[in-house]
Structure 1
């Protein structure tokens, strides 16, 4: 059973600014390290993830999830963070670059956290991903920069707000690079907010 209620960010305008939604950084890593390395281009592979990335695969590659839940479908093939979060924490003395928090794709101009579960993002000419849930920030963030976790995971009267990005699966293969435009396609019917998902929460 999920112990924390996920507070929902309500916003009818999914664009975070007047700027055209775009990719500003792409990153990957071959080892289970906290940060990922900036690349000039990455390849998304349908139903698999980022080519050459340690978290790619048809089953969940997160080490904690493997230890606790065993073999599970990989709903965390791609990790995205909005650059606007970097802007916010810089005002508190935390200076971040794309890839520092382990994301594969850094965006600007789209409010990722306000998108519903199942929203699809078209990245560049071919690639497409589908959002599956929120990233759950862990204590490693404070090992990277002391005190940063307090801004990534915030307790409010309505519940816990997780700000360290979203997770997705790849629905169409394609290359993604900085400068690529992002188009958002919202799911039809009732929309469900993004939440932190595990096999335990999915049973509720």
Structure 2
């Protein structure tokens, strides 16, 4: 299974959106160089408030570009970086990947998928009504989070739009993603 990087984004200050870049550098065990969420321990404000010593399982945020088309059909203009992601992808069912999946991006970087992004009220503040489009219920009433996945950096490297993403599923039973 392969996909493509369509955009990369980072921001050195806390802000909901992240500007697009020509490239980003992933640092093993830390995240995106210069990004406010990079670090060994949690950096997301709500998680820091709970316990600042917890490991950072949210070093790199990925969103599938297909989500933008889905919400666009409902009247919501969303482009890469708008929802705070670091890497925008095309061609991979990110939400269907199991915990522990490895994503090799370009020639060097490797991410390990840790879980789902838990969408917050900032999405609603960004575009009124959008939160209900990225969090919902399936036909069985189960909560569905569509705002991307989180990962940690196993091997560093430079990531650029156009890079290929190779998916390596983990051995063992499929462990569905949950919020991290």
Band the TM-score falls in, shorter-chain normalisation: over 0.9
Structure 2 counterparts to residues 83-94 of structure 1, below 5 A: 83-94=65-76
Displacement of 1:159 after TM fit? 1.1
- Picking from 105, 125, 131, the partner of 1:123 is 105
Q: TM-score, normalised by structure 1?
A: 0.86
- Picking from 132, 142, 146, the partner of 2:128 is 146
Matched, 1:55 2:37: yes
Matched, 1:182 2:161: no
Q: Deviations over 1:3-51 (max 9, x none)?
A: xxxxxxxxxxxx6xxxx61000000001110000100000000000000
Q: Secondary structure at the match of 1:142?
A: helix
Which ranges in structure 1 are unaligned for 5 or more consecutive residues?
1-14, 198-204
Matched, 1:168 2:166: no
Q: Deviations over 1:159-194 (max 9, x none)?
A: 100000000000001000000001000000112001
Question: Which portions of structure 1, spanning 4 or more consecutive aligned residues, are displaced by more than 4 angstroms?
Answer: none
Q: Secondary structure at the match of 1:21?
A: strand
Structure 2 counterparts to residues 1-204 of structure 1, below 5 A: 21-156=3-138, 157-197=140-180
Distance 1:183 1:153 in 2: 27
How many residues are paired up? 179
Contact in 1 for aligned 2:41/2:52 (Cα 8 Å): no
Distance 2:51 2:36 in 1: 18
Q: Secondary structure at the match of 1:110?
A: coil
Aligned partner of 1:5 in structure 2 is none
When the two chains are superposed, the root-mean-square deviation of aligned CA atoms in Å is: 0.9
Distance 1:69 1:61 in 2: 10
Distance 1:130 1:164 in 2: 17
Q: Secondary structure at the match of 2:88?
A: strand
